[in-house]
A = this chain, B = another copy of it.
Amino acid sequence: MSRPEHESERDSEKPRGRPRSNLAHQAILEATRDLLTSGGYERLSIEAIAARAGVGKQTIYRRWRSKSAVVAEVVLAGYLPIHAGTPADTGDVLVDLQAWVREQVAWHTYPGAVALVRGLAAAAADSDADAGRLYDQLTGPVREGLMHRLAVGVQQSQLRADADLEAATDAIIGSLLFRVLARSDTSSVNTDSIVEIVIGGIGKRWRNPAGPPAGWAVPPDAP
């Protein structure tokens, strides 16, 4: 790169010339948020953002490479109620995660939330190379918060020490993603059941004196 344009340029170079306007920056992100939640990703265009923000298109392109990059920043900068909070810790991992999932599901009733998630999926689809990175940025905090709570559950001996917490996390997030993307009849699947299943799958088990039924392979378990 001859001149630092996008991304962080916190190297030893002193910025010369007129500095970038924070007001313009903020106006762009707010306009993007508004258009995204009202009209969805398909109706979102750079020109529409520029017009609503009262900004030249170049001012947008000077900062971001593409529409999906702007959307990513909107999310990362906290302009949307993405609700990436860490689950609470009341001592019961099942209850905590069920409450957390209920919060996520409740967020989906916000106006434009479903359209937003679908739009992010579309944004990732037309980034292609950036798709994985975009998802990582967007779902990373959620993943970390979830996995941290599960790790605490392991420390509290509620979950197996050898449990694959990554897989469990992906199962929960994947279920929510699938629900939002695909299932229009939102009341169909009981999200409490999903958490119950996953937590049951990585939770401690109790041995039956009579032993397991014949033909039923016992997963590895540490007492």
Contact = CB atoms under 8 A, between A and B. Distances in A.
Interface of A: 40-42, 91-92, 94-95, 115, 118-119, 121-122, 124-126, 128, 131-133, 135-136, 139, 157-158, 163-164, 166-168, 170-179, 181-185, 188-191, 193-194, 196-213, 215-217, 219
A174 B101 CA distance: 15
A131 to B, nearest CB: 6
A178 B174 contact: yes
B170 A217 contact: no
Contacts of A119: 125
Contacts of A203: 216
Contacts of A166: 188-190, 193
A117 to B, nearest CB: 9
Nearest to A160: B200
Contacts of A40: 125-126, 128
A121 B126 CA distance: 10
Given A136-B182, A219-B200, A190 B207 contact: no
A132 B170 contact: no
Contact of A184 (B131, B175, B206): B131
A167 B183 contact: no
A163 B197 CA distance: 8
Contact of A204 (B158, B168, B185, B216): B216
A164 B197 contact: yes
B193 A164 contact: yes
A128 B217 CA distance: 44
Given A92-B215, A171-B174, A198-B198, 16 more contacts: A41-B125, A91-B215, A95-B217, A131-B184, A133-B184, A136-B182, A157-B213, A158-B213, A166-B188, A167-B175, A171-B175, A175-B175, A177-B177, A178-B178, A200-B200, A206-B208
